[in-house]
Amino acid sequence: MERLNLPTYNDMPPVEGMPHGCAWGLFDKDGVRDEVGTLNHLTPSVVARAAQEINTGKHVSLNWGLEKIHKPEFGRIATQHRIIDWLPLANAHIYDDELTLNTQSGSQWDGLRHFAHTPTGRYYQGTHHSELLTTDHLGIDHWHRRGGIVARGVLIDYAAWADSKGIEFDAWRCHKISLETVKRVAREQGTEFREGDLLVVRSGWIRRYEGAGEEERGEALRRNEHVGVEGTREVLEWLWDGRFSAVAGDSIGFECWPGTEPWRLHDNLLSLWGMPIGEMWDLEALSEECKRQNRWSFFLTSAPLNTKNGVASPPNAIAIF
């Protein structure tokens, strides 16, 4: 199996003006600037090995309904769905439909144009916020040129584990899921990690949302606080040295929010490494299927929208067992 020649997190070379752990240039090849970051871990041999996860043919969609978030945070628009009837327009028995959506208002991939390194305003590979939109760098269309995202997915079912241990928490508060806990859940599930894995964490945020009333949901979204993986140096070292290709979760953000510098995961993963972050994925059916099959790894495919210079996208993700 081919393996990229990369330094460990501790040995990553310095990048002028940036904090330790900056991967700019490390994935460049033959003088060509890299545009897809840690998706480079998904080499043909890694993907071929991931395909060995398929043995029952059972498949589960990981996409939450586009209409679920009625009042998105920060004034973002809710998804609007318009159906067009062609009968009065052209005497034809035809329907079209039109969608207007903000790609941050539901199941999504945060692409590499979404979030800059906050102290410097620079995105992956160093493009400044003031320059990014004058270039074709880092658009989500680059993911399509490499064939979308195909990987071995691994679910860390924190919500189910916490239930089994009698651990009570509010998914709409900054409840931190530590690295030690992630590793413990993996051990108790019997899950081992491999190079190129796509790490998926079920925190219970969507379960909490689905069980709440409209007023309570709106209040929670306005609060801008939620459960997630804790941002620490140790988490960053583990993710980089473990050669994960991407991370995703069911919370409104993968990391516990609000995050804190300098270990805020959005800054480090998106901006310094080029690692995609999936948010608000519907992991409820996936959790049940993992329990039925008594395994928490699966083949995962994702075909984001092929939008030139796109910032983010619905994941169109499917887990296959």
Interhelix angle for 233-241 vs 179-189, to 10°? 50
Res 1: pLDDT:
58
* Residue given tokens 């679910």 in the structure block: 155
Token reading at 41: 């871990």
**Same domain, yes or no: 185 and 51:** yes
> CATH number, domain at 111?
3.50.30
**Same domain, yes or no: 93 and 219:** no
- Which residue(s) pair with 226 in the sheet? 257
Evaluate the omega torsion of the peptide bond into residue 315 and state whether it is cis, within 30 degrees of 0. no
Does 127 reside within a domain? yes
| Intra-chain end-to-end CA distance of the chain, in Å | 23
Does 24 reside within a domain? no
CA 64/CA 84 separation, integer angstroms = 24
CA 58/CA 42 separation, integer angstroms = 23
**Same domain, yes or no: 116 and 209:** yes
**Same domain, yes or no: 254 and 292:** yes
CA 83/CA 146 separation, integer angstroms = 33
**Same domain, yes or no: 88 and 160:** no
Going from the first residue of the chain to its last (321 residues), give the mean pLDDT of each consecutive group of 10, the final group possibly shorter.
88 98 97 97 98 98 93 87 96 96 95 97 98 98 97 98 96 96 98 98 97 89 92 98 98 93 96 98 98 98 97 98 98
Are 217 and 70 in contact by the 8 Å Cβ rule? The answer is yes
**Same domain, yes or no: 167 and 253:** yes
Does 4 reside within a domain? no
Interhelix angle for 158-165 vs 179-189, to 10°? 80
**Same domain, yes or no: 167 and 178:** yes
**Same domain, yes or no: 277 and 160:** yes
Does 54 reside within a domain? yes
Does 92 reside within a domain? yes
> 200 is in which domain, residue-wise?
37-65+106-320
Are 112 and 138 in contact by the 8 Å Cβ rule? The answer is yes
CA 9/CA 38 separation, integer angstroms = 13
Q: Which of 104, 126, 159 is the last residue of a domain?
A: 104
**Same domain, yes or no: 82 and 167:** no
User: For the chain, how long is the longest CA-to-CA vector?
Assistant: 68
**Same domain, yes or no: 99 and 119:** no
**Same domain, yes or no: 112 and 94:** no
* Total domain count, the chain: 2
**Same domain, yes or no: 77 and 156:** no
Q: Which of 88, 104, 120 is the last residue of a domain?
A: 104
CA 168/CA 118 separation, integer angstroms = 33
Residue 44 makes CB contacts below 8 A (sequence gap 6+) with: 2
Angstrom CA distances, 290 to 2, 83, 163, 251, stand at 29, 36, 16, 19
* pTM attached to this predicted model: 0.96
CA 82/CA 204 separation, integer angstroms = 31
Does 216 reside within a domain? yes
Are 276 and 244 in contact by the 8 Å Cβ rule? The answer is no
Does 6 reside within a domain? no
Does 45 reside within a domain? yes
Evaluate the omega torsion of the peptide bond into residue 258 and state whether it is cis, within 30 degrees of 0. yes
